[in-house]
Structure 1
Amino acid sequence: MRNILIVGATSAIAEAAARRFAASGARFYLVGRNAEKLAAITRDLEIRSGQPVHGESLDLDLLDQHPALLERVEQALGGIDIALIAHGMLPDQEACQRSVAMTLAAIHTNALSAISLATLLANAFEARGRGALVVIGSVAGDRGRRSNYVYGAAKGMVGLFLQGLRNRLSGKDIQIITVKPGFVDTPMTATFEKKGLLWAQPDQIAKGIVAAVEHRRDVVYLPWFWRWIMLVILHIPERVFKNLKTIVINLGLQGGLLLY
């Protein structure tokens, strides 16, 4: 039976992942901001796993609270085998462009809080000699795009940090897994028009997360085809990429604006 910490447990992807882990037997400590939703997820997992589920509501932007949080998790579970960092928010790009404060707040939530937790968890795993850290990033972190570059910059920061962490801990029985979903139908994307084959459901991503842990992956794009989409996007020359929106409009390429 594995002890699993899920941070951002009320997100749709995290909830779906917890259900999959519960099916194979797991003990949980859940952390989320919405206390009411967290309580509902806790009850559901207790029924599914047949085990008591620990958890608490916490504002993860309070970085000074992170060490005490992990101490409480250790006391409740007696150790952490897998930690899933899944919290975050999708900022309004245009609002961020007008406000330095909003930009920094988005980066604080999506990058700095995740990096804080990842550092503490990696150190705990290193001291213990084993563990798996899974962090949900985004394909948006692979290249800056005009439609969401504040969010993308934060996710890109996390991805690069995890890459260094993975190298630092290489050769040890510690997994550092970066998960890069594409478009996922969740409450965070409620205002998006969700059409086409590029959209995935949370459980599809959850299935990929569980598989990444089992197969000891380093970086996973979910669904799988995003690896090849982003490979193409990364190799578009900057002079072309800057004008991609105009090119897409002129050629009438459906779905191109969504990618840009």
Structure 2
Amino acid sequence: MTEITPQPGPRLRVLILGGTSGIAEATARLYAAEGADILLVGRDRTKLDTIAADLGVRGAGRAEVAISDLAAPADAAAELSGFAATLGGVDHILVAYGILGDQAEAARDAAAAERIMTVNFNSAAAWCLAAANLLESQGRGSLVVLGSVAGDRGRRQNFVYGAAKAGLAALVEGIAHRFAATGPRAVLVKPGPTITAMTAGMTRKGLLWAKPEAVAAVVRRAADKGGPVVYAPWFWRFIMLIIRFLPASIFNRLDI
């Protein structure tokens, strides 16, 4: 009797916008372990090349880089189409870049506030809409976008950044609703405070701080299954539920 050897399935083709972010790099390593083809997009070629080389060692089928100023896309749809062509098609798209900015500066300087909004909402929205059109045209695939728990309620410590993330949340949830009967999926992942370069100036101690690897595991699962909004780690869903429903008389006394 002839033994039939199972043939491996096609490799996932993964596009990561913001490939040098800590969460993106940790997520890319998970994809690499699956043998996926990965295209990392960002501005820092040296860092992207280093990450790509590491992904190759970790098992990626292909690990390539593309240089783009994601915060100022001239034509997001055309660029995205080019990225997909480089991969030979795309299955998963991760939008993972952003800036925290300085709330005190943004509160007094309109240009600083505009920069936070432009990077975290305007440009991200352009990429998300382009990705939605691409995935809808092929009838399959996943768009996963990194949001933030900061978007759940305006707080004095980061309300400009939070406003941008709140807008992005509404956009991605709308795309998920649009996809409901068409095949692709869109997911917003809302991390809590995470130990990455973005939070380097903060006191990063306590049980509420997550490592990028923990958030990456949530991101990777979200590309395959789950609802349109996922918190990372999971307990932030309940923390933010409490914060959202606190009466203003109590909320306004909190220094958060």
TM-score calculated relative to the size of structure 2: 0.93
1:32 counterpart residue number: 42
1:20 alignment partner, one of 7, 30, 54: 30
Number of residue-to-residue matches in the alignment: 246
Amino acid at match of 1:136: L
What is the identity percentage for the equivalent residue pairs of Structure 1 and Structure 2?
42
Report the counterpart of residue 74 of structure 1 in structure 2.
Answer: 84
Q: Give yes or no for contact 1:175–1:216 (8 Å, CA) kept in 2.
A: no
What residue is the counterpart of 1:120 in the other structure?
Answer: 130
RMSD of the alignment, in Å? 1.2
Q: Which runs of 5+ in 1 are unaligned?
A: 246-259
**Equivalent in the alignment of 2:182:** 172
Tell me, what secondary structure is at the counterpart of 2:74? helix
Matches within 5 A, 1:101-120: 101-120=111-130
For residues 167 and 144 of structure 1, the distance between their equivalents in structure 2, rounded to whole angstroms, comes to 25
**Equivalent residue of 1:83, what SS?**
strand
The Cα shift of 1:57 comes to 1.9
> Alpha-carbon deviations, 1:188-243, whole Å to 9, x = none?
10111111100110000001111222324321101111000000000101232122
Question: Which residue of the partner structure matches residue 93 of structure 1?
Answer: 103
Shift of 1:54: 2.2
Match of 2:227 in 1: 217
The alpha carbon displacement at 1:98 in A equals: 1.1
Shift of 1:50: 4.5
Distance 1:204 1:148, change over 3 A: same
Cα distance change on mapping 1:168 and 1:214 into 2, 3 Å: closer
CA, structure 1 residues 61+50, in 2 after alignment: closer, same or farther (shift >3 Å)?
closer
CA distance in 1, matches of 2:53, 2:163: 36
Residue 54 of structure 2 aligns to which amino acid in structure 1? D
Kindly indicate whether the alpha-carbon contact (under 8 Å) linking 2:71 and 2:124 is maintained by their aligned counterparts in 1. no
Distance 2:221 2:137 in 1: 25
Distance of aligned partners of 1:50 and 1:201 in 2 relative to their CA distance in 1, 3 Å threshold: closer
Structure 1 residues 127 and 27: CA distance shift in structure 2, 3 A? same
Report the equivalent of 2:251. 241
Mapped partners of 2:41, 2:56: distance in 1: 15
Q: For residues 39-61 of structure 1, what are the alpha-carbon distances to aligned partners after superposition, in whole Å with 9 as ceiling and x for unaligned?
A: 10011112222523222121112
Who is 2:7 aligned against? none
Residues 60-69 or 89-98, more deviating: 60-69
Q: What is the rounded CA distance, in whole Å, between the counterparts of 2:67 and 2:80 in structure 1?
A: 13
| Offset at residue 74 of structure 1 (A) | 2.3
In structure 2, stretches of 5+ residues that fail to align are 1-10
Cα distance, 1:173 vs structure 2: 1.4
Letter in 2 for 1:40: T
- Does the residue aligned with 1:41 lie in a helix, a strand or coil? helix
Please report the TM-score for the alignment, with normalisation by the length of structure 1. Answer: 0.92
Displaced runs of 4 or more, over 3 A: none
